[in-house]
Amino acid sequence: MLHRIEEKADELGLDILRLAIQPDHVHVFITGNPKLSPNKIIQQVKGYTSRNLREEFNFGLPSMWTRSYFVSSAGEVSSQTIEEYIEAQTGR
């Protein structure tokens, strides 16, 4: 999944600053293209990864992702704080 998220980020002109993939959720800290709204970025990443993983693994469930997501800006928090939080989620 990591590779597919990185591919879509590159295509959209996004830089992934930190990424943590958990069994039941994903944390991603990105700098985004200001022409794309956060909901469009999430929609694009979820759609791309879902399509590709379903094709590769013949995944038969009606949906790979839930419709929910959380988006926030880093305006009041330092980038280092967010990166440390995401890193802590990996359990390393």
The mean of the pLDDT values for the chain is 83
pLDDT at 91: 59
- Answer whether residue 90 shows pLDDT above 90: no
Q: How far apart are CA 34 and CA 14, in angstroms?
A: 10
- Give the pair of three-digit tokens for residue 1: 């999944």
pLDDT at 72: 74
Question: Of residues 78 and 18, which shows the higher confidence score?
Answer: 18
Count Cβ atoms within 10 A of the Cβ of residue 76 and give its class: 0-12 exposed, 13-18 middle, 19 or more buried: exposed
The pLDDT, as a whole number, for residue 14 is 94
**Domains in the chain, please, with CATH?**
2-89 (3.30.70.1290)
Those residues whose C-beta lies under 8 Å from the C-beta of residue 14, and which sit 6 or more positions away, are 30, 31, 32, 33, 41
Mean pLDDT of 6-20: 92
**Arithmetic mean of pLDDT, 26-36:** 86
Q: Which positions ≥6 away from 78 have C-beta within 8 Å?
A: none
As given in the structure block, the two tokens for residue 71 are 């988006």
